[in-house]
Amino acid sequence: MPIDPRPTSLRRAALVLAALPVLACHESKPPADTEETASGGIHETASATGSSSGDATDAGSATMTGGDASSSGGGSSGGGSSGSATVADSSSSSNPEGSSSADASASGSTTSDIVPCDVAMATLEPLPPNVMLVLDKSGSMVSNTWDHDDNGATPEITRWDSLYQVVDFVVSTFDAQINFGATLFPAINATATYNANACVMSNAPEIPVAPTNANAILAGIPGAAETMIYGGTPATAGVTLARDNLVSLNPQNPRAIVLVTDGAANCSGDAGTNFERFEVYDDQLPVVVGDAWTNDAIPTYVVGIDALDAVSPVANDGFPDSTNTFDVLNDVAEAGGKPLVGMAEFYQTTNQNELQDALQQIIDDALSCIVPLDPEPAFPDLLEVVIDDMNVPAVDDCASEDGWVYTNPGGPYDAIELCGTWCDALKVAGSVTAEYYCNPG
């Protein structure tokens, strides 16, 4: 029988990062009972159960059998599985010569240095990403209507009506998983005048990023039926406010900007005349978006609401002249680090259903793959990570490999990040099991 290459003095603890009904110590395969075989024939089983109710009791046991050595342990109860831990201990006995059985002595191996498998269970979740919604509140969002449901038999509604409904869906659905905020461009008090009052911005996001922020966002932006919406398209200023808010928050949480607009940016802060303010495209938008991505690792997802793929006419109409909105949004999406593949590198939408699908895809992509570890592993090199009963390999480079890494390779070892296809697997599974191995010797 082959010899287990792992030192027999190892003991294992399992830390559960989501509420799981059963946790079992195992190796590369996930059966409830896992065999660890040495030449003396040692069978080790560890189990734990828990409930999420207020008076939940967590119980665990660890059993070792082999030759004449056996042990058993009992569980402890707590006030629920969230933030709680269950530890089950067992102790083994051996004969004075340190041999657990005649067979073990004959083969030259001993089990006197085997220690119990201590099982600790706690409920943890991936870090919630901080996501700022940067929303176009220009006059065109209500002066233009569209076939929101792709049904010519129903009346059209304003683009803002659709955007509000989609924002409602997104922030309400993911309120517990994502820290949302919202920035409007221009501000609510912008006017329908051909001067700087149409480009006015707030000094800070209307709703700064915070946990469980859905109600604040829906109350802080104009309602779906609102038609008194005016102003230009100061998208650069909107992204700047979003970036400033995000960089002020905990950098360990993933961060992202979602820019939703129906037109090309204007209202440049460098404009000296009203013509420059409204009829000239603000080419600083991709620069600001690119800086956020390059310098702060904040990506910008770009969503177009029926963006026109044609060069605009030269006219004093409040829209950038000689500008193809489709092309400039492609530039912004590429600068933001999250371009799509194809003719449209941004999320082009032509109705409300497509708009909701686009936001859903973005949120799915933005969900965090960083999982905090509390407590930190005493032996970082011995940590094992499991998703859906599959062992996830430790890798060196999260950008190019599939597996997991410590977010701080040199310590503190307080969080891991799932990489590549394993990040996708985590988003589907919703939970990770981290198994701690310890070498007391």
The average confidence (pLDDT) of the chain is: 78
Number of folded domains that form the chain: 2
Same domain, 170 and 264: yes
Q: Is pTM, for the whole model, over 0.75? A: no
- The count of other CB atoms within 10 Å of the CB of residue 344 is 18
Local structure of 301: helix, strand or coil = strand
pLDDT in tens, 290-317: 999 999 999 999 999 999 999 999 999 9
In a domain, 2, yes or no: no
Positions of E strands within 389-432: 390-392, 403-406, 415-419
Q: What is the pLDDT of residue 433?
A: 87
Residues 277 and 404 in one domain: no
Q: Is residue 5 part of a domain?
A: no
> In terms of residue numbers, what domain contains 30?
11-125+370-438
Structure tokens at 347: 């999320």
Position 375 in a domain: yes
Strand, coil or helix: 341: coil
Domain end point (choices 348, 366, 384): 366
Residues 308 and 398 in one domain: no
Q: How confident is the model at residue 124 (pLDDT cuts 50, 70, 90)?
A: low
Instruction: Select from 366, 388, 405 the last residue of a domain.
Output: 366
Which 3 state secondary structure label does DSSP give 181?
strand
In angstroms, the CA 324 to CA 86 distance is: 61
Tokens, residue 276: 């420059």
Summarised one tens digit per residue, pLDDT across range 398-439 is 999 999 999 999 999 999 999 999 999 998 888 888 888 877
Name the domain boundary from 366, 397, 426.
366
Tokens encoding 250: 């905990």
Q: pLDDT tens-digit profile of 178-237? A: 999 999 999 999 999 999 999 999 999 999 999 999 999 999 999 999 999 999 999 999
